Chains A and B, each alone.
Chain A
Amino acid sequence: MSAKQVHDVVIEATNTLEILERVLRVIRHRGFRISHMNSEQMNDCNNIKITVTVSGERGIDLLYKQLDKLFDVSKVSVQHITTI
């Protein structure tokens, strides 16, 4: 099995009822596993900040672009943590 990369991904999005499902579904379907997650409303209550630690064999850029494409998502940032 090839090495897995671990990344922290921070997602800022509109705080719709289904935003967590929408984001988590993309992460799972595109081949990443979540080991840690936090979600909190941002100051204005209309937006939410989701922080996830994900690992996967595929390039993180593929996930970044899929998340960035979501209509409700306003910002995605990625930081490499480690290789396992």
Chain B
Amino acid sequence: MSERSFGLQAPPSLGVLGKKRYAMVIDLRRCIGCMACVLADKAEFEVPLGVWRTWVQYEEYGTYPNVRRQFLSRLCNHCDDPPCVKACPVQATYKHEDGFVLQRYERCIGCRTCMVACPYNARHILPAKRSNPNLPTKVVDKCTFCFHRVTQGLVPACAQTCIGRVRIFGDINDPKSEVRKLIDTNPTVVLKPEKGTKPQVYYILANRSGLEPAKVFKNLSAQQKEDLKDHQEHFENYVGR
């Protein structure tokens, strides 16, 4: 267990008896890249265009005819030692004792330090204009592991909608839970374990080496590089400045 614990960060609960520690297993052997998880999330939270709470990267490798496509579903890792919580100057983000890393919109000042701190790019800024005027604007948002659903006894929307049962959600501290059994019986990896964040999204058969950021950047096509520039230029208008 981590000795590092700051401010609003609930103590790491991974493996602590009597404590819940919600986690997700993403079994990439079963992923077909249908993006239903992305859409479910968009629908559940009215996630605006251009930003994502969850997304799916894919990579094609091999030489024709021996080619293969590998997916990698991404979302907030709800780290046991989340750097975003430490970085926020106004306590706008915090870690729930059951492991959820959550955001308090009414406190967020939009300094984007949490976005900088997150090694997984799991945070985004909400635009100045929303289709529903009651929704928050111009503050940082992120995946909540569907806290509102889990507290009602449901699983997150992405796990609920996944047709291949790729995303399995549950309490990793419960030896009878499906996530615990999957982790105990399969080799799993987490993203960027060397950053010391203790991420709680476990992947089965992730092609990690192929999806490291440096490799992605190197392999961008000319069109993707142009799109990247446009995306950055769009940001200032997007947040209404």
A and B associate: no
Task: List the interface of chain A (C-beta within 8 A of B).
Answer: none
